[in-house]
Structure 1
Amino acid sequence: MQLPGAQNVKCFFVLNAKNTTKDQKASKEHNTMSTNDYRNLPKSMHETSNRCKDHDKKYDIYCAIHSCPCCVQCVTEDHQKCQDLKPLADILKDVKSSANIPILKKDLDDLKDSFKNLLNVLEDRMETINLQKTKGIEEVRSMRKLLDDYLDKLERQIIDELVSKHSKMKTDTELLVKQMEYRTKRVDQLIDKFSTITQYATELQTYIGLREIENTASKESKYLEELDSGGLLDNQNLEITLSPALQSILQEVQSFGHISFKSSPHGIQVMTGRKDQAQNLVPVFHSIKQMKPSVKVTLNVPKSERFQIYACQILPDSTFYFSIGQRNA
């Protein structure tokens, strides 16, 4: 019978008590599990087999160098030079009771806590950079408003100054125009008076009248000379010279500012656990060739006595215990 998601699962039916003996012996060392428990195993566990995929032989050997189980043919073909070959049964014997199981569990819990803490930190960071963006936009717009208000103020100042100077120039010009119109009329009157005198006046009248006209004309000429010498007849123009500092903004100021990324140490304690955790579940066996003994302590036996040392043991606290027997010379 084939269970969903399972491969090569044997189900034994009791047809004859005598015929079940062999199957009982084959299965007495195996623990059973429910179908639901089996389905809850990770997918990779469903695909795990105790037989080699390449040679279809049972795994019997474990290679610590390559961290993989091997069948006999695998050892012959690919692991001839590997020295750390151990019986797979020895490796698996105490794997679930290994002291590394709770250590690995703690490592997983630490990893979960680390990722959870980092997730909280990253969420806070997202909130922080969103606030920084909002603050940056507010700063740009605030600076823009300050610039607008300041430029509006400068604009009002120069326009008010322009209007004031234009008004003064206009008033002075209008006054000068009125004076010119008045003087022009007086000269016209002098011309009419001159024409009348020269045509109808007697010699005495002509003499006196021409003297008056001459004096009046002299005064008008003097007035013109005063206007000329006083610069009142010079051309008056309104010129606006914009501040070079303002004009340089168009060439020198290329942006409102500069946006950059500033990195600083995060200050978060990340618990990464141990490296090569999977390897810690597998007992480490060292071959004789890998062992490098060194002299730690030298024990001197009195020359007057002779001992027979039967056994020696070194305890974890570096205490030496000897099993000795005294013998006669």
Structure 2
Amino acid sequence: MANKLENNIYCGPCESQHLTNIAELWCPNCTEGLCSTCLKYHNVSKSTRMHKTITIENLTTLPDFVRDIDYAYSNHSNVLDLYCSVHEKTCCMDCITIDHSECPGITSLVKVVQGVKESAFYHSIMKNIEDLTEYASKVQKNRNENADKLQQEKRFLVEKVKSKRREITSHLDKLEEDLLQQIDSTMTQESQQINEAVSNLQTKIDTLAEYKGQISSMIENATEVQTFLGLKEIDKKIVKEEENMSRMVVEPGMKETSVNMEFANEIGGLVEEIKLVGTLELNKVTTAMHYAGTKSQLAKSLSNIKSGIDNIKLSCINKFQIPFNFQGKKIFAVVLY
């Protein structure tokens, strides 16, 4: 492409004369810009008057790889006027001799590109683009639906985790309540037994103190006979009190009582053993939305072109038979190819 200075394209023929004139038009065949003066010679020259020029503005709308297409082969300096359908490359006569000598289907480039803008090749590419765009849009919609589905699944899973947590919490609360009630009931029962034992012991202490007072009164006020007989009577009562005390010491309220508690194995190892509340399972399935690609129509049509005498095949045009005995002569069947 012609040199650019400050985003301007300069006339190619003028540049070859060391002149700098801004190009007004562009010749895709010559791959250079043309000023108004050089355009006049370009339009009347035998080698270029059939070239179609375009405006510089239209040139800028072309893709870079299209603007950079050059019709001259740099290695051989020949015009690329042939096309190899095997390698799908443009070439010149020197290219064919060196690189494509055994390639069938070498075709004139002019013949290949003739009517290309309205050809089945053009419509095939446009159809492929439309099909691929439609397929990509369907897949895009499918992926968006999958993303929306994942958000719904996220909300469901989050609620499922919270629900399970509430279920576990509610169950633990119930177990806690039952255990606390059991602790309270046990402590109350044991305390009542101890309090009852304390009360019974206090009764005995009071009784013994009463016996002691009675003895003191007898010592001070009774005769010896009364004291002796009174002591004998109190002695009998003391024996009964000893017997009662012996029975009392084995009662539940007289035993040294303490309450301990051990958690169930599942609860005791809850923190150590339960490291996860749950696990996620990620399922990935290849989408069933397959795209059936198509082979280039140009490649298909050109691949059917064969060259060389070895590829010549006979085809039957007509077949008929003349009677064997005709005017006394023996005639054979004739087949035309």
Q: Does structure 2 retain, via aligned residues, the 8 Å contact 1:51–1:58? A: yes
Given residue 267 of structure 2, which amino acid in structure 1 is its aligned partner? L
- Aligned residue in 2 for 1:324: none
**Does the Cα contact within 8 Å between 2:79 and 2:92 map onto a contact in 1?**
yes
Distance in 2 (CA, whole Å) between partners of 1:257 and 1:121 is 29
CA distance in 2, matches of 1:177, 1:26: 133
Identify the range of structure 1 (158-167 vs 272-281) with the bigger mean alpha-carbon deviation. 272-281
Matched, 1:150 2:171: yes
Structure-1 residue corresponding to 2:57:
36
1:109 aligns with: 130
1:294 is displaced (CA, Å) by 11
Distance 1:289 1:229 in 2: 127
Query: Secondary structure of 1:73's match?
Result: helix
Q: CA deviation at 1:94?
A: 4.1
For the 8 Å contact 1:63–1:86, the answer to whether it is kept is yes
Contact 2:24 2:35 in 1 (8 A): no
CA RMSD of aligned residues (A): 3.4
Does the aligned pair in 2 maintain the 1:5–1:39 contact within 8 Å? Answer: no
Q: Check conservation: 2:81, 2:92, Cα contact below 8 A.
A: yes
Cross-structure match for 1:239: 260
Query: Which residue does 2:240 correspond to in 1?
Result: 219
- Count the aligned residue pairs: 306
Mean CA deviation greater in 300-309 or 163-172: 300-309
What residue in structure 1 maps to residue 305 of structure 2?
A: 285
Q: Does 2:119 match 1:95?
A: no
TM-score relative to the length of structure 1: 0.79
Distance 2:142 2:59 in 1: 38
**Bigger mean CA offset, 128-137 vs 280-289:** 280-289
Structure 1 SS opposite 2:70: coil
The answer to whether the 8 Å contact 1:62/1:88 transfers is: yes
* Shift in Å, 1:205: 0.7
1:303–1:261 distance in 2 versus 1, CA, 3 Å = farther
| Contact kept in structure 1, 2:85 and 2:105, CA below 8 Å | yes
Whole-Å separation in 2 of the counterparts to 1:289 and 1:223: 137
Q: What amino acid is aligned across from residue 123 of structure 1 in structure 2?
A: N
Shift of 1:232: 3.9
How far does residue 206 in structure 1 lie from its aligned partner after superposition? Answer: 1.6
Q: RCO greater where, 1 or 2, for CA within 8 Å and sep 6 or more?
A: 1
Q: Measure how far apart 1:201 and its partner are.
A: 3.3
Alpha-carbon distance, 1:77 to partner: 3.9
Q: Does 1:202 align with 2:202?
A: no
Cα pair distance change 1:186/1:290, threshold 3 Å:
farther
What's the TM-score once normalised by structure 2's chain length?
Answer: 0.77
How far is the alpha carbon of 1:67 from its aligned partner? 1.5
Q: How does 1:68-217 map to 2 (within 5 A)?
A: 68-198=89-219, 201-217=222-238
C-alpha distance 131-14 of structure 1, shift in aligned 2 (>3 A):
closer
Q: Does 1:26 align with 2:47?
A: yes
1:9 to 13, 21, 33: 33
Report the CA distance between 1:300 and its aligned residue: 8.5
Q: Distance in 1 between matches of 2:56 and 2:128?
A: 30
Specify the code of the residue in structure 2 equivalent to 1:286.
K
CA distance in structure 1 between the partners assigned to 2:117 and 2:134 by the alignment: 24
**Aligned twin of 2:69:** 48
Q: CA deviation at 1:123?
A: 1.3
- Asked if 2 retains the 8 angstrom alpha-carbon contact of 1:52 and 1:71, the reply is yes
Asked whether the 8 Å contact 1:61–1:71 carries over to 2, the reply is: yes
Post-superposition CA distance 1:130-177 (Å, at most 9, x none): 221122111111111111121111111110111122112112211211
Q: Which amino acid aligns with 1:59?
A: L
- Provide structure 2 residue ranges, at least 5 long, that are not aligned to the other structure: 1-10, 12-21, 325-330
Tell me if structure 1 keeps the 8 A contact 2:82–2:107. yes
Between the aligned partners of 1:179 and 1:5, the Cα distance in structure 2 is: 127
Cα distance change on mapping 1:257 and 1:294 into 2, 3 Å: farther
> Once the 2 structures are TM-superposed, how far is the Cα of residue 20 of structure 1 from its aligned partner?
5.3
Structure 1 segments unaligned to the other structure (5+ residues): 313-329
Asked if the contact 2:82/2:91 (under 8 Å) is kept, the reply is yes
Distance in 2 between the 1:137 and 1:309 partners? Answer: 85
Deviations 1:62-98 (A, max 9, x none): 2223221123333344334444433323322343343
Q: Which residue of 1 aligns with 2:294?
A: 274
Amino acid at match of 2:93: V
What corresponds to 1:320 in structure 2? Answer: none
Specify whether residues 22 and 5 from structure 1 end up closer, same or farther in structure 2 by C-alpha distance, changes over 3 A only.
Answer: closer
Separation in structure 2 between the aligned mates of residue 284 and residue 207 of structure 1, nearest angstrom:
149
